[in-house]
Amino acid sequence: MLDIGPIHRKEYDIEDDRSEPVVIAEAPGRIHYLGEHGEPKAGLYLSSAIDRYMMAAVSLRKDNSLRFYAADLGERKRTTLVNLKYKREDRWANYIKVAIHVFAELGYPVKGLNFTIAGDIPQQIGLASSSAIEVAAAVALRGLLKADVNERELLARLTAAQEEFFGKDTSAVDYLVSLSARKDQFLLVDEAGLTVKKIKSPLSKYRILIMDSRVPRMGVEAELKQRRQDLKKGLELLSRKKEGAALRDFAAMDLVESMGDLPEQIRRRSLHIVEEIRRVYDAEAALRDADFAALSRIFFHSHESLRDLYEVSCPEIDWLVKRAQEIDGVLGSRMTGQGFGGCTYTIIREDAIEEYRLRLEDYERIFGFHPVIYEVRFATGARLVPPQRH
């Protein structure tokens, strides 16, 4: 990854860090191993941060201009605090604006700022690269302004600012993972209460591979919106017989007993959510007990449920998961991200990685897409970093 400190100083002609301090922060990407397609605002996730990061460097300007530089892309954007709003053409810079908006709304002296971002989180494949830009920019800005804003408040403010900028509901989960993560720990994230339970990973002998299927995704938002509507309708119908504030308040047996009242599609969607919540709790117990056999079943059953009940997988992703499942040394494999293409993750022993890679030669021959593999590790959460690292 680029050394962002010297790049920032060169871009904005800053000679002396003592007279014009440059504050740098990094925020990790993340994987949701379970729970990703959960009930909106009430999901339960098994997640971790990964050692791919977005970095943000920030310094003060003498004028009132806001300048943004994406070092990886060689692109520059600019605006002012008066015009701090979402613009489609500003793309990546909109995420930095979210962080600036947080501190402007809190009354901190935000006027002219220089920002530089760079990172190595693969883009648009469901690893939270955009949230990482927001968190890195916010943590850097908090450090520059010496702002007294704790992580709980930062979480709430980022969520509110994101919703205001982009005009749609936003989940706080990715921010929560980014701010709470610790090395070698899974996170059990409860979206309803915005709480995190840390679970030490027993998987020291395993590696995590992310497989980008390279399948182009079309019409994903419309499909996911339909599923959210199905879940809302399912909860309304279930609550007529048994009061519940969220689908997690129901058991799978409730859905079986209500089969005559629920349209088949709504029943399947709701059943996935209810069973996935159970899987998250079961995975927590399996991780604490180092019960690898149980954990393996949970991961594979979760993918089958996404394929058959929630219906957000696709033939290419299913093929990748099935081939992984056949390899001795694979603990689990499952789709991750929004679905309809995108990625799988595979938890695999190091001595099985070569066989896994060989299997992928058939994937390209059969489907015509050249997959990309990223090996990742557990990572700690967002933090300030020294201005220069060599």
So which residues are the catalytic ones?
Answer: 174
For strand 206-212 and strand 330-336, is the pairing parallel, antiparallel, or unpaired? unpaired
Q: Name residues whose C-beta falls within 8 Å of residue 150's C-beta, 6 or more positions apart in sequence.
A: none
Helix 264-289 × helix 220-241 angle, to 10°: 90
Q: Name residues whose C-beta falls within 8 Å of residue 52's C-beta, 6 or more positions apart in sequence.
A: 28, 29, 119, 120, 121, 122, 127, 374, 376, 379
**Token digits for 338?**
């929004």
DSSP readout, 150-207? -HHHHHHHHHHHHHHHHSS---SHHHHHHHH--TTEEEEEETTTTEEEEEE---TTEE
CA angle 196/31/38 to nearest 5° reads 65
119 forms bridges with which residues in the sheet? Answer: 54
**Token digits for 259?**
């089969």
